[in-house]
Amino acid sequence: MTTLSDVASAVGVSVSAVSRVLNDAPGTRVSEETRQRILETARQMDYRPNHSARSLRLQRTAVLACVLPDLTNALFSELVEGAEDAARERGYTLLLSRAEGMHDLDDTLARLLGEGRVDGAIVQMPDGLEPESLDSLVHDALPVVFLHAAHPRRTGSVMLDDAAAARTATDHLLALGHERIAFVGGLAGSPSARRREEGFREAMAQAGHAVDEKLVTRFGYRISDADSALAVLAEAQPRPTALVVANMNAGMAALGAARRMKWSVPEDLSVVAVHDAWPAAMTWPPLTTVRMPLRSLGRAAVECLIERLQVGTAADRLLSNESPQLIRRASTSAIEG
Amino acid sequence: MTTLSDVASAVGVSVSAVSRVLNDAPGTRVSEETRQRILETARQMDYRPNHSARSLRLQRTAVLACVLPDLTNALFSELVEGAEDAARERGYTLLLSRAEGMHDLDDTLARLLGEGRVDGAIVQMPDGLEPESLDSLVHDALPVVFLHAAHPRRTGSVMLDDAAAARTATDHLLALGHERIAFVGGLAGSPSARRREEGFREAMAQAGHAVDEKLVTRFGYRISDADSALAVLAEAQPRPTALVVANMNAGMAALGAARRMKWSVPEDLSVVAVHDAWPAAMTWPPLTTVRMPLRSLGRAAVECLIERLQVGTAADRLLSNESPQLIRRASTSAIEG
DNA sequence: GGAGTGGGTCCGCTTGCTTAT
DNA sequence: GATAAGCAAGCGGACCCACTC
């Protein structure tokens, strides 16, 4: 590895001269000729600043972490791309990490933040855990921005307009003539799941339809949760004619569960889910979804985090300027279609 | 951030004593009492070694990178878990990174390896690129292990038994009575795709069936590639009755393409794909697959890389002790079923 | 002379201050 | 007094080499 002093001795100048030229430091006084020789030599020797040394000296790494419960979830693809783009533009590198449970998250944040590997972190809590439970780690104003959920005693979180998305989904079913609509929700503890349920209720209320509480389930987003949900809904009398599922993966699972129960989609049951990614087009029937601005969410998270790093604090952000957008596929149809 | 010297002055000993005790350095001579006081104080003060400082001093980071073309591909889930497990056991941290194209990869490796952010990297080349094209970066024995493809002039790669997987898939179709079997392959440049095609040909030859070259396509694994492949296959006279698809995602896409072409699966066309992950169970009909030991591949990659780091060189590995396993779902059926 | 400590250097880089034209 | 440089400290930790009973 080529170091600054390798370059310096090759050119025949001091280390500081090389450092200043390569960093284009303000107020650098170096003759144009020396400057060119330094730049040229550094290029020839393929000099690259050592990240550890620079971080140690500057007390900052220019690295941000993005800690997610499951990296292979297709929904994270856009989110991460948005975050990476924003980070790059601001001179940061994004580091991806996975933390499935609370223990993992605790551990991961301790390693990343505690050992000074990164300057800050964007965190999506694993399903079923609430930001409050992270209290031990958050007590001393750690530079952390939460995705989808605000921490009760800390600022710095970015959220989507979940209520609007659920309203869009529900309105779509209402427009198709459905009235007996079920809501397949996330776990009761999840803030975003709660917001989606509220949006569902608002849309129903606005249309003048009562919500049958037997048609509201909160099992979560795993594949097996869909079986539980559909089993409950099949017991209802009369059965619902349509489902708003709070999450795309859960929506895909719901299609599978319905098929196992010989419940035809969309003939006997229309299904629409919140969130969109390519797998939704691969199911049968292709799943109608509501697209959320995940790329923007990723960008906003990075910007919020950097603001927090620079100013010391950052306001919570609710992304409501891009409306959730209905992606009509084949899993929904008019009630008498 | 608590530093070594904070702990040292709190205990009233020297920095070196604290360092030795906390690292459990060999030959450390510290009284049991001092040792306990140091450990206790460090715990109380929540001391964590600064990663940059330690890396700078030791000239190693204890971090390995895993660079993949698309992190949200469900196939990478198990791979990454296996790699993370192995890394953790050996005292390393795994860092995940995405590199879609050659330029990205070049850039990423320069940042990771060149700036000393990681000690080594596991790399899966983006589709359509071959290891040879990485020559510029690999010239000076960079500590890199390739997934799925060997570099012609360097050791250090881990591969699955792709031929065996394709044979298993093909044998399944043959056992169901199919004879006119098509192969939907990856790009011609991909080594693993080539090995799968060979496996297909071997199985066909062994069964005494000629391969109709019109039934072999090599468009790649993207969704749109499946449309191209199926369009070609639909032209063949007579049409094939079954498909071996070289990749699970491509297999899912093939189901979609077949449906758009009104080609019923499995009645008129059986489909089996290489690789297995949960989305395969969500398609309609659920996709029959051949499961590969991806978790072991991840482990092997890390072990290979660490060996390379310690010994300076490491042999290529072909994982052939765990046989590819057929996961029978509903997309394949007997020819006259 | 071994058991228990502390001092000091260096890893590569940035930057305030100094020096020599 | 500008202009063009160099010196040296120190970020936090590891480890060799003292030093003292």
Separation between Cα atoms, residue A92 and residue B332, nearest integer Å: 49
Q: Per-residue pLDDT for A337 more than 60?
A: no
- Average pLDDT value for residue range B174-185: 97
pLDDT recorded at residue B279: 87
Q: What is the pLDDT of residue A236?
A: 94
Report the range of poorest mean pLDDT among A172-176, A211-215, B177-181, B308-312.
B308-312
Residues contacting B118, CB < 8 A, separation 6+: B61, B63, B64, B65, B95, B112
Q: State the Cα torsion B135-B140-B143-B145 to the nearest 10°.
A: 30
Question: Among all strands, which nt has the closest C1' to A53 (CA)?
Answer: C12
B136 interaction partners in chain A (CB closer than 8 Å): none
CA dist., res. A63 & res. A315, Å (int): 21
Of the candidate CATH numbers 3.40.50.2300, 1.10.3470.10, 3.30.70.890, 3.40.50.620, the domain formed by A162-293 belongs to 3.40.50.2300
Nucleotides of C under 7 A from a protein CB: 3-8, 10-16
Cβ partners under 8 Å of residue B38, min gap 6: B7, B11, B13, B17, B18, B21, B22, B30
- Nearest-CA distance A227 → chain B (Å): 13
Q: How far apart, in Å, are the Cα atoms of B100 and each of A296, B105, B117?
A: 20, 7, 20
- Chain A residues whose CB is inside 8 A of the B254 CB are none
Residues B129-149 as b/e (b if ≥16 CB within 10 A, e otherwise) read bebebbeebbeeebbbbbbbb
Please state, in angstroms and rounded to a whole number, the distance separating the CA atoms of residues B330 and B310: 48
Q: How far is the CA of A19 from the C1' of D6 (A)?
A: 12
Which residues are registered as beta bridge partners of A242?
A181, A270
- Tell me, what's the pLDDT at B156? 85
Assign a CATH topology to domain B4-49: 434 Repressor (Amino-terminal Domain) (1.10.260)
Confidence of residue B101 (pLDDT cuts 50, 70, 90): confident
Q: Which amino acid is at A294?
A: L
Q: Do B281 and A52 touch (CB under 8 A)?
A: no
Alpha-carbon gap, residue A299 to A297, rounded angstroms: 5
Residue B187: its pLDDT value, please? 94
Among the partner residues A52, A76, A116, nearest to B116 by beta-carbon distance: A52
Indicate the burial class of A47 (C-beta count within 10 angstroms; 0-12, 13-18, 19 or more).
Answer: buried
Q: What is the pLDDT of residues A157-204, one digit of tens each?
A: 999 999 999 999 999 999 999 999 999 999 998 999 999 999 999 999
Task: Please name every residue paired with A157 in a beta bridge, in sequence order, or none if there are none.
Answer: A146
Say whether residue B3 is in contact with chain A using an 8 A CB cutoff: no
pLDDT at A138: 59
Closest chain A residue to the Cα of B71, Cα to Cα = A72
Are residues B71 and A74, on separate chains, in Cβ contact within 8 Å? no
Q: Which nucleotide is nearest to B2 (CA to C1')?
A: D12
**pLDDT at residue B136 greater than cutoff 70:** no
Cβ distance A51 to B116 less than 8 Å, yes or no, reads yes
The fold adopted by the segment(s) A61-160+294-319 is Rossmann fold (3.40.50)
Q: Please give the span between the terminal C-alpha atoms of chain A, in angstroms, as a whole number.
A: 69
Check pLDDT > 60 for residue B141.
yes
Residue B29, pLDDT score: 80
Closest CA to A302 of A93, A71, A55, A59: A93
Q: Quickly state the pLDDT bin for A128 (edges 50, 70, 90).
A: confident
Average pLDDT over residues B285-306: 96
Q: Which of A130-144, B201-215, B264-278 has the lowest mean pLDDT?
A: A130-144
The closest of B270, B252, B255, B296 to B73, measured between CA atoms, is B252
Domains A4-49 and A162-293 are alike in CATH topology: no
Chain A: nearest CA to B115, how far in angstroms? 5
pLDDT at B337 over 60: no
Given CB atoms, is B47 within the 8 Å cutoff of chain A? Answer: no
Residue B312 backbone dihedrals phi, psi, to 5 degrees: 100, -20
Distance of CA A114 to the CA centre of its chain: 23
Q: What are B9's two structure tokens? A: 């002055």
DSSP character at residue A113: I
Nucleotide nearest to A54 (CA to C1'): C13
What percent of chain A has a predicted confidence (pLDDT) above 70?
96
Fold exhibited by the domain B162-292: Rossmann fold (3.40.50)
Tell me if B68 sits within 8 A of B95, measured CB to CB. Answer: no
Distance A55 CA to D18 C1' (A): 32
A56 touches strand C (CB under 7 A): yes
Tally C-beta pairs within 8 A across A and B. Answer: 106
Is A330 within 8 Å of chain B by CB?
Answer: no
Interface test with B, best of A1, A47, A51 (most B CBs within 10 A): A51
Mean pLDDT of chain B: 92
Residues 6+ apart with CB under 8 A from B325: B168, B290, B291
**Predicted confidence band at A132 (pLDDT cuts at 50, 70, 90)?**
low
Task: For residue B85, give Cα distances in angstroms to A72, B118, B123, B299.
Answer: 17, 17, 17, 7
Interchain CB contact of A101 with B (< 8 Å): no
* Cα B197 from Cα B184, distance rounded (Å): 9
DSSP assignment string, B136-202: HHHTT--SEEEES---TT---EEEE-HHHHHHHHHHHHHHTT--SEEEE---TT-HHHHHHHHHHHH
CATH of region B60-160+294-319: 3.40.50.2300
* CA-based nearest residue to B158, from B277, B289, B314, B312: B314
Mutate to test the interface with A, among B115, B136, B221 (most CBs of A within 10 A): B115
Q: How far apart are CA B275 and CA B196, in angstroms?
A: 11
Give the domain ranges of chain B.
Answer: 4-49, 60-160+294-319, 162-292
Distance in angstroms: CA A295, C1' C9:
49
Q: How confident is the model at residue A284 (pLDDT cuts 50, 70, 90)?
A: confident
For residue B95, which of A85, A112, A89 has the smallest C-alpha distance?
A112
User: Which H/E stretch holds residue A327?
Assistant: strand A325-327
Show which positions of strand D are touched by protein (CB under 7 A).
Answer: 3-8, 10-16
Query: From residues 9-28 of B, which are strand C contacts by CB within 7 A?
Result: 12-17, 20, 28
Of the pLDDT bands very low, low, confident and very high (cuts 50, 70, 90), residue B313 is confident
Q: How far is B255 from chain A (nearest CA, A)?
A: 8
Q: Is residue A134 over pLDDT 90?
A: no
Residues of chain A positioned with their CB less than 8 A from the CB of B51: 52, 115-117
Q: Bridge-partner residues for B95, per DSSP?
A: B65
Q: Is the pLDDT of residue A139 over 70?
A: no
- % of chain B exceeding 90 in pLDDT: 79
Query: In angstroms, what separates the C-alpha of B47 from chain A's closest C-alpha?
Result: 9
Distances (CA, A) of A230 to A34, A213, A227, A250, A333: 74, 14, 5, 11, 19
Question: To the nearest whole number, what is the mean pLDDT of chain A?
Answer: 92
